[in-house]
Amino acid sequence: MDLVLSLIAIVLLSPVFIIVAILVKTKLGSPVLFKQERPGLNEKIFNMYKFRTMTDERDKEGNLLPDSVRLTKFGKFLRSTSLDELPELFNILKGDMSVVGPRPLLVKYLPLYNEHEKRRHEVRPGLSGLAQVNGRNSICWEDKFNLDVYYVDNVKFIVDWKIIFMTIKKVFFREGINSETASTMEPFQGTQKEKLEL
């Protein structure tokens, strides 16, 4: 399913890829694609690709300015419509990701996970997942991880298709793009205690 859907999507959306790439180049400059290492299945590191949504503005010391400053109106539009995620279709085609699965997070979070949270890496990360259709960035980290692990324990073909259709609805209505306190999701600081197994 991953191979077929990603290939079809890349072909059908190729005009969108070209238009977005041109707009990103014009409004945000180079590089057009944002590349970052993310942990995948069994915590194997891979390069994830997205369309760039933020500028490289820095302070006098050369440090990047906060996301809220660097995230332009155009960048917010790309995120709210999920157009910035389109290049991840190539990650799916390569086998690094799946259409559905826990979202790939930052490599620096790996040492912060407890045993319960680590289980999100027992499946391939996804373009969308159970957490994305149940709040996305508007829910707390604990809820997000609980949904990820629930998906790991309940992987089914029909469940994947339900999440795909729910994702289309969420993207259309642009729900849960930001958290309540930041322009993007707040950094994960680690869980204070081990998740109790019920």
pLDDT at 1 over 80: yes
DSSP per-residue string spanning 104-135: P--GGGGGG--HHHHGGGGS--EEE-TTGGGT
Nearest residue to 171 (alpha-carbon basis) of 59, 69, 84: 84
| Paired tokens of 117 | 């949270």
pLDDT at 186 over 90: no
Per residue in 170-180, pLDDT (tens digit) is 887 766 554 44
Q: Please state the pTM of the whole predicted model.
A: 0.84
Nearest residue to 23 (alpha-carbon basis) of 74, 88, 85: 74
Per residue in 41-56, pLDDT (tens digit) is 999 999 999 999 998 8
CB atoms within 10 A of CB 91: 23
Contact 173, 138 (CB under 8 A): no
- Output the CA torsion 94→71→145→140 (10° steps): -170
